[in-house]
Amino acid sequence: MHETKLRLIQTGLALILARGYNGLGIQELLDETGIPKGSFYHHFEGKEDFALQVVDAYMAQAHALLDATLGALDRPPLERVRSFFEAVREGYAAQGYLGCFFGALGQELSGSSEVFRHKIEGCMATIASRLATCLEEARERGDIPASTDPAQMANVLVNAWEGAALRTRLVRNGDPLDGVLDFCFAAMTAR
């Protein structure tokens, strides 16, 4: 990716997370990065195209994290799933507990933009699907009850995590995330 485009996307991600899509002006982004307006429009058709590409970049980061954590086949599957969420938590901490970019943007735009609603739901569904594959491995190993539906459990994890991520934005610490992980993993492994 071109360095200018990458800088715009990285700065835009932070600004959208902090202020929201509607709170971000293109001029503010350009002032923050020192990039001229013409360069912005060379890489993006407009604000919506820019934000959709920021979503893609964030999803690419999520895929890399999923690959690194779920792909650590020397560790048990439940440990790999938990390590994914713990790594995400570390990212939230580094950003000052502003929550999940997908969750924040989805809450802001899902009522007004079908494009963003579908895009963000697709990203969340992809994450849940990848987690479900690892949870299926845990079920096959007997780490979770045989009656567990891995897809349903993955969706519960993602949904609970997103709610906790919203709470981190309010309380500015990771306690809600820790509570969700402890509760969900205890419930999954209960016999």
Whether residue 33 is contained in a domain is answered as no
Residue 69 has what pLDDT?
Answer: 98
Q: What is the pLDDT along the chain (191 residues), one digit of tens a residue?
A: 799 999 999 999 999 999 999 999 999 999 999 999 999 999 999 999 999 999 999 999 999 999 999 999 999 999 999 999 999 999 999 999 999 999 999 999 999 999 999 999 999 999 999 999 999 999 999 999 999 999 999 999 999 999 999 999 999 999 999 999 999 999 999 87
Whether residue 91 is contained in a domain is answered as yes
Residue 83 has what pLDDT?
Answer: 98
* Placement of tokens 């835009």 in the chain: 12
- Total structural domains within the chain: 1
What is the spatial distance between Cα 143 and Cα 75, in angstroms, rounded to a whole number? 13
* Residue span of the structural domain in which 66 resides: 47-189
Whether residue 158 is contained in a domain is answered as yes
Whether residue 148 is contained in a domain is answered as yes
Query: 164 by DSSP, 3-state: which?
Result: helix
Whether residue 26 is contained in a domain is answered as no
Whether residue 95 is contained in a domain is answered as yes
Residue 75 maps to which CATH number?
A: 1.10.357.10
